[in-house]
Amino acid sequence: MSSLYILIALLVAIVVYFVITMLRVRKSVTNLTQEQFIEGYRKAQLIDVREPKEFESGHILGARNIPYSQFRQRFKEIRPDKPVYLYDQNGGKSSRAAMFLKKKDYAHLYQLQGGFRTWTGKVKSK
């Protein structure tokens, strides 16, 4: 019986963690549809947080690659006074990158809803 209570407490803790994380992401970054993303990314800093091999296999035209694995060391390459448009493959890493930038006082943060896997616009590859 006590193991059932432990299991329930664990499940509640996991749900609370995900809800808090979702709220933090929502406060940090604005999700944009592809159409909204296209409207604004040319006037902003477009950052692809995927790893270099993914970036080289295809990325949104005009994007800079700052891999999430290097983000803490390289975030100062991003200007805090201009809007930042982030994307990755699915949206998970770009959300975490946005939360990190928000802590560093970056204000205008946007991410591609669904990530690069849903992108149907122009792509550049090496």
Annotate 17-56 with b (16+ C-beta within 10 A) or e (fewer): eeeeeeeebeebbebbeeeebbeebeebbbbbbbbeebbe
- Which residues, at least 6 apart from 46, have a Cβ–Cβ distance to it below 8 Å? 60, 62, 63, 64, 85, 87
Q: Which two tokens stand for residue 93?
A: 């890493």
* Confidence class for position 108, pLDDT limits 50, 70, 90: very high
pTM for the model: 0.80
Cβ neighbours of 59 (radius 10 Å): 21
More confident residue, 74 or 17: 74
Calculate what percentage of the chain has a pLDDT beyond 70.
93
Whether the per-residue pLDDT at 45 is higher than 70: the answer is: yes
* Confidence class for position 91, pLDDT limits 50, 70, 90: confident
Strand partners, 80: none
Average pLDDT value for the chain: 90
The topology under which CATH files domain 29-124 is Oxidized Rhodanese; domain 1 (3.40.250)
- pLDDT at position 126, please? 73
3-class secondary structure, 85: strand
CA dihedral angle for residue 79, residue 73, residue 126, residue 50, rounded to 10 degrees: -90
73 burial (CB, 10 Å; 0-12 / 13-18 / 19+) is exposed
